[in-house]
Amino acid sequence: MKIAFNYLLLVFTLFVGLTSCDKDDPEIPHEEELITTLIYTLTPDNGGSDVVLSFKDLDGGGKDPVIATEALQANMTYTGVIKLLNELESPAHDISEEVEEEADEHQFFFSTTVEGLIITYTDEDDNGKPLGLENQLVTGDAGSGQLTIILRHEPAKNAAGVSEGDITNAGGESDIEVTFDIDVQ
């Protein structure tokens, strides 16, 4: 009798152990990548030196981030490329590659107070919706103001205005938001 009881206990334990590992168990969500650095490189279409705007926050907000800008030329067209890094890893981890691979889940938004400054998307996801890692920036006459760059994770790309760069109906969560002081000369 004791042997039968031990056998039943063993079978029950195995049954519970095997059935508790269900394929429908929830997955732990993918943790968002840490973005410490944004580098926006603008190459003049008529040649000349690149203009680089950069943001670096290596301590996550304890100290002020290091933000560097250079003047833009008036009435100029630039080809823009954004690079995102996690510089707390060694070597620095290129987050831009992951954003590009998951382009359908990301979109950059640009807003500016600089009169005449226009940014248009030149890259897109597999569904033909904008991404923004690559873009075109056109300046107008001399002036100054601010340029804000926001990377949204899981925006509603089909919502009204989102494909045109309007963040109003985008939803999602901001992965990074940076504001640069801009001087157009």
Confidence band, pLDDT 50/70/90 cuts, at residue 61: confident
pTM (two decimals): 0.82
Residues paired with 94 in a beta bridge? 85
DSSP 114: S
Is residue 31 pLDDT above 90, yes or no? no
Q: How many Å apart are CA 96 and CA 80, to the nearest integer?
A: 14
What pLDDT is attached to residue 32? 61
Confidence band, pLDDT 50/70/90 cuts, at residue 125: very high
Q: How many Å apart are CA 132 and CA 106, to the nearest integer?
A: 9
Which token pair is 45?
């279409």
Is residue 165 pLDDT above 90, yes or no? yes
Q: How many Å apart are CA 116 and CA 140, to the nearest integer?
A: 4
Burial pattern 155-173, b for ≥16 Cβ within 10 A else e, equals: bebeeeebeebebeebebe
Is residue 153 pLDDT above 50, yes or no? yes
Q: How many Å apart are CA 165 and CA 145, to the nearest integer?
A: 19
Residues paired with 180 in a beta bridge? 147
CA distances from 135 to 25, 41, 50, 65, 156 (A): 41, 10, 14, 25, 20
Is residue 98 pLDDT above 70, yes or no? yes
With CA atoms as reference, report the closest residue to 132 among 185, 160, 92, 170: 170
Under a CB-based contact definition with an 8 Å cutoff, are residues 148 and 177 in contact?
yes
Is residue 1 pLDDT above 60, yes or no? no
Is residue 110 pLDDT above 90, yes or no? yes
- Higher confidence at residue 28 or residue 109? 109
- CB-based contacts of 138, cutoff 8 Å, min separation 6: 76, 77, 78, 117, 118, 119, 120
Query: Which domains occur in the chain, in start order?
Result: 33-184 (2.60.40)
Question: What percentage of the chain reaches a pLDDT higher than 70?
Answer: 83
Confidence band, pLDDT 50/70/90 cuts, at residue 60: confident
SS3 label, residue 44: strand
